[in-house]
Amino acid sequence: MSKSYSVAILGATGAVGTELLELLESRKFPVGNLKLLASERSAGKVIQFQGENLVIESVNDGSFDQIDIVLASAGGGTSKTWAPKAVERGAVVIDNSSTFRMHPDVPLIVPEVNPQEAANHKGIIANPNCTTILMALVVWPLHQVKPVKRIVAATYQSASGAGAKAMEEVKIQSQYILEGKQPVAQVLPYPLAFNLFPHNSPMTSMGYCEEELKMVNETRKIFGNQDIRITATCVRVPVLRAHSEAINLEFDTPFAPHTARQILSDSPGVQLLEDWHKNYFPMPMEASGKDEVLVGRIRQDISHPCGLELWLCGDQIRKGAALNAVQIAELLVKQNLLS
């Protein structure tokens, strides 16, 4: 990475945007020039990067001139408006929204799973949904040994998935409840503190919410296999940061738990964490702030001879969003796919 690149962060003041900034610095991404973009209400604020004060600019038609990479995390509507304009000006956009994920001409990438797809980009690369990334990272190494036939997922999704304001709202709600006051919900539809509810994304006619269908459709696209049977139940839980998932996998033949442990112990981006004597397995508290997805409680499904159960926790803001995007940018640089 001897060459430097001009990078723009679209949505620089959000939870993911803030993490993108930290990761570019800590991973020593070759940033020659950095532009921070946000809405008009955030314009003028100052953020530090590598010891320098950078002023946040409101996004406009000239924002992407001479920009090589755009890391976009400002919502689907913003990406739909500005990503094509950035591409027109010669930038490659790595988009964290769901806007382009299922477009046939847009690669959907988890670098540890399908890095080869980066070469097929036409200016936009989609960052998968957070729950999809975490699951794909753990299931893929097992799928490479024995193709998985069916995945049943139940997610326990933290407030961080709804952004920084949702995280702050949970803190305030918790304080209210402890003081005997009625909690107020403004960011999420219902109070999340000391509570949980099915994921708040729009419900579809199939009886699945959009978040659940993202896991189904995105996993199939990333794995390059439309035949995998996948179902998911997504739940919002009163955890500030890091998502958890209970995963049931079905194969054609039995998959020994000790073999799965060995495979996952050697898999990139994954950390095996289990102590059966202490009943100690991955927890969102320990996954928060970590790059690795923690996995454990790997066991035989007693209801199916070819079934395997596992539990994982991963930081939604890091590997579930910002880290995956920066890794895609690193992939573009390594494969010389920016010029």
Is 243 labeled as catalytic in the residue annotation?
A: yes
Binding residue per annotation — 226? no
Binding residue per annotation — 126? no
SS (H, E, C) 86-131: HHHCCCEEEECCCCCCCCCCCCECCCCCCHHHHHHCCCEEECCCHH
Binding residue per annotation — 41? yes
Binding residue per annotation — 261? no
Binding residue per annotation — 236? yes
β-pairing verdict for 293-300 and 307-314? antiparallel
Catalytic annotation, pick one of 130, 209, 234, 313: 130
Binding residue per annotation — 66? no
Quote the radius of gyration of the chain (alpha carbons, Å): 20
The residue length of the chain stands at 339
For the sheet with 293-300, list strands across it: 197-198, 229-236, 148-157, 243-251, 307-314, 293-300, 270-272
Q: Is the dihedral of CA 116, 294, 150, 129 positive or negative?
A: negative
Binding residue per annotation — 14? yes
Phi, psi (deg, nearest 5) at residue 292? -80, 150
Binding residue per annotation — 51? no
Place of tokens 């799973």: 113
Is 306 labeled as catalytic in the residue annotation?
A: no
Catalytic annotation, pick one of 143, 199, 243, 313: 243
Binding residue per annotation — 15? yes
Q: List binding-site positions for substrate.
A: 157, 210, 236
Output the known binding site: 13-16, 41-42, 101, 157, 160-161, 210, 236, 316
Task: List, as residue ranges, the binding site for NADP(+).
Answer: 13-16, 41-42, 160-161, 316
- Which residues participate in the annotated binding site for phosphate? 101
Catalytic positions, please? Answer: 130, 243
